[in-house]
Amino acid sequence: MQRIVIVGAGHAGVQAAASLRDQGFSGAIELVSAENALPYHRPPLSKRFAEGLTDAAIALRPAAFYSAQDISLRRATVVEEIDASEQRLTLSTGEQLAYDQLILATGSRNRRLEVPGEELSGIVSIRNLGDAYRLATSVVIGTRAFVVGAGYLGLEVAAALAKRGVKVTVAASRPLPLGRSVSPDTASVLATALRDMGIETIVGAGISGFEGNGRRISGVRFADCSLYETDLVVIGIGAVPNVELAQHAGVEVDDGVLVDAALATSAAGISAIGDCVRVRGIARLESVANATFQARCIAARLCGRPAPAAETPWFWSDIGDLKLKMVGLRQPDDVVRTLTADGGHVALCFRNGELAAVETINANRIHVAARRILDAGVQLGVDAVCAPDFDMVALAKSLAARPIEASRAA
């Protein structure tokens, strides 16, 4: 194989390039990024935007990495079109770029709140570095902020703003924050913590539009015609996968670029990884852990090596000083038992009587232990886990750790 082209230089794309070299691929690697910035970590954008992020501080890899690994990074270059039959891309530079294998890592974009006034300045949605800079510079003493959406992004931003002394109101569609993502038990703990941070929550208020003072946001208009004055609006109402490029090339798409378990799309020579994909039969996962894991998997496959050991999906979020971590995919019908451990909150989610997911707030050791237990496929019933002398960390320690070579195979 001569040339692998990767479209998108987020976590998935950059990790795929790095893992291909790790796995011994010696052909050409072309990494095409629509953005001009050196590829960077996204989680800090919503969590630490106010700390004066510098390009170097959040770079996924220093600039020297790409040249040392002989990875051609094309910045500020958009892929306009894929010709799947000719195995060739058309770039915004006018250039044609042939590939032997194509990896789509096009990510997702924030869902828009399509109401009158959405174009006013001071309305921010965080996805890229420019958004984070815009938000950071909007925060001055006495700012009032209105955050639309009580998902991870909205809450991370709300907590970070509150920490800067901004008066924050969050508009939520459900009674409990993160209501779609975590158990009601964990969401209740979060709700209390948000109140303690001085964050006010409005539930179920329909937003009919934004009002401006000139071109700048001055207030949020609700469906009942009431007006909420604010200096800043942050929209965090979910993301949509960037599938258009694949779709136009005839690749099968359904809430994400559809891939099989090996991350192959319906088109020969085209794979896809990260936030833009949905693996057939399961819901689309948006997480850094998933993106980097899939990147390691695709690199192994293209290099003819065994796939890395399967990982139970895991997620993390820093909401102010709360370190929220989840392992396993919770289902709404799971039976939840909570306990206090390690000085933090732990929610154990059981499905068909067995431990299926664990949510923790400020209880890292339990999270790490739960990851090892679920990764190992150990089946734990409700009675066993809720017995007074049960020690999750001790159980995890007793499990043989995955061999270092295998876990580092990518």
Tell whether residue 365 is a contact of other proteins (CB under 8 A).
Answer: yes
Tell whether residue 44 is a contact of other proteins (CB under 8 A).
Answer: yes
Among 1, 37, 50, 69, binds other proteins (CB under 8 A): 69
Size of residue set near other proteins by CB under 8 A: 44
- φ, ψ (nearest 5 deg) of residue 231: -100, -15
CA-to-CA dists, residue 221 to 143, 161, 208, angstroms: 18, 22, 6
69 vs 266, beta carbon nearer other proteins: 69
Tell whether residue 11 is a contact of other proteins (CB under 8 A).
Answer: yes
- φ, ψ (nearest 5 deg) of residue 61: -145, 145
Among 372, 374, 380, 385, binds other proteins (CB under 8 A): 372
Query: Which 317-346 positions form the footprint of other proteins (CB under 8 A)?
Result: 318, 323, 325, 342
Tell whether residue 288 is a contact of other proteins (CB under 8 A).
Answer: yes
Cα separation, 42 vs 130, in Å, equals 11
Cα separation, 325 vs 318, in Å, equals 9
Tell whether residue 133 is a contact of other proteins (CB under 8 A).
Answer: no
Query: Which 383-402 positions form the footprint of other proteins (CB under 8 A)?
Result: 393, 396-397, 401-402
Tell whether residue 374 is a contact of other proteins (CB under 8 A).
Answer: no
Q: Which stretch binds other proteins (CB under 8 A): 13-21, 157-165, 168-176, 264-272?
A: 13-21
CB of 289 to other proteins, least distance (A): 6
Cα separation, 345 vs 238, in Å, equals 26
The structure tokens listed for 121 are 């300045």
Q: Which stretch binds other proteins (CB under 8 A): 42-50, 129-137, 271-279, 382-390?
A: 42-50
Helix, strand and coil percent figures for the chain, each rounded to 5: 30, 30, 40
Q: In which order are the strands placed within the sheet that holds 232-235?
A: 123-124, 232-235, 144-148, 167-172, 200-203
Taking Cα atoms as reference points, which of 12, 92, 19 lies closest to residue 256? 12
Classified as helix, coil or strand, 145 is strand
As a residue count, the chain comes to 410
Query: Which 46-65 positions form the footprint of other proteins (CB under 8 A)?
Result: 47, 56, 58-62, 64-65
Binding site for other proteins (CB under 8 A): 11, 15, 18, 21-22, 41, 43-44, 47, 56, 58-62, 64-65, 68-69, 288-289, 292, 296, 316, 318, 323, 325, 342, 364-365, 368-369, 372, 393, 396-397, 401-405, 407-408, 410
